[in-house]
Amino acid sequence: MNKLIGISTGIKNVDMAPGNIPCVVINNDFVNLCNSYGSTAVIIGPQSNLNNIDISNLDGLIVSGGGDINPNMYGQDIEDKTSRISDNRDSTELKLFKSAENNMIKTLAICRGNQLLNVYKEGTLYQDLYDSGFTEINHDKPFEDARSHIHDIHIDKDSKLYSLVEEEKISVNSIHHQGINTLGKDLKITAKSPDGVIEGIETTNDWEAIGIQWHPENMVEDKYSKLIFEWLCS
């Protein structure tokens, strides 16, 4: 059965006719991975002036990485290192989470998506890990290292994530400077890096949603990345 997998993303200015214009952009590895499991990728850009977003026709949802979430959404002022905020994207993806939960749509939240899943569930974030005392590991590696294993994570054996990868320790990439602080409602921590940064969360209610801080779409040959996408598309 051909399943529909929604993938949320942001907007970037691109040079194309008739000039430099804002475009909805996505890492095509997402599309290729969904296609490799017989699923059709449906790209969802930031939506304007919609009070409600209905994705009940989708079989799965990916909330992808991107810029920082507006800290006003979790009760904080904007600090110096918080950047690339898109209120329109924040609003859109919160509505996607709401529709996914209401319709029990399997959800994979990646990097920024992982953080936003926590904010959706009323949790908070560290606006900068280094400034918050996490100095042992450089989590904010450049995009050029996206296909490299940067550090290990430890996975809780009592988690959906462990049931997928069947390993207590795996190595992941790392392209983020923010992270989860206070855990939101109906969530549990599933993975941490050696310095204590939360690398994975998942829902504890009937909605099947997994959040991960790394980018499996950039490690397409990694067997654990494949297992995660296989779960989403199955």
pLDDT tens-digit readout, 126-157: 999 999 999 999 998 887 888 888 899 999 99
Return the H-helix or E-strand segment holding 4. Answer: strand 4-8
Q: Is the pLDDT of residue 1 over 90?
A: no
Per-residue model confidence (pLDDT) at position 34: 95
- The structural domain count of the chain equals 1
Three-class DSSP category at 71: helix
In 3D, which of 63, 125, 58 has the Cα closest to residue 94? 63
Q: What angle do CA 174, 177, 181 make, to 5 degrees?
A: 105
Read off the CATH number of the domain in which 59 is found: 3.40.50.880
Unique residue bearing structure tokens 């462990």: 162
For the question of residue 215 being annotated catalytic, the response is yes
- The catalytic position among 34, 93, 111, 202 is 111
Per-residue model confidence (pLDDT) at position 16: 86
- For 154, how many CA atoms within 13 A lie in the half-sphere containing its CB? 6
Residues 33-48 have a mean pLDDT of: 96
Q: Which domain holds residue 133?
A: 4-233
For the question of residue 101 being annotated catalytic, the response is no
Unique residue bearing structure tokens 């609003």: 91
- The catalytic position among 101, 177, 215, 233 is 215
Q: Is the pLDDT of residue 26 over 80?
A: yes
In 3D, which of 119, 113, 104 has the Cα closest to residue 10? 113
For the question of residue 217 being annotated catalytic, the response is yes
- The catalytic position among 199, 202, 208, 217 is 217
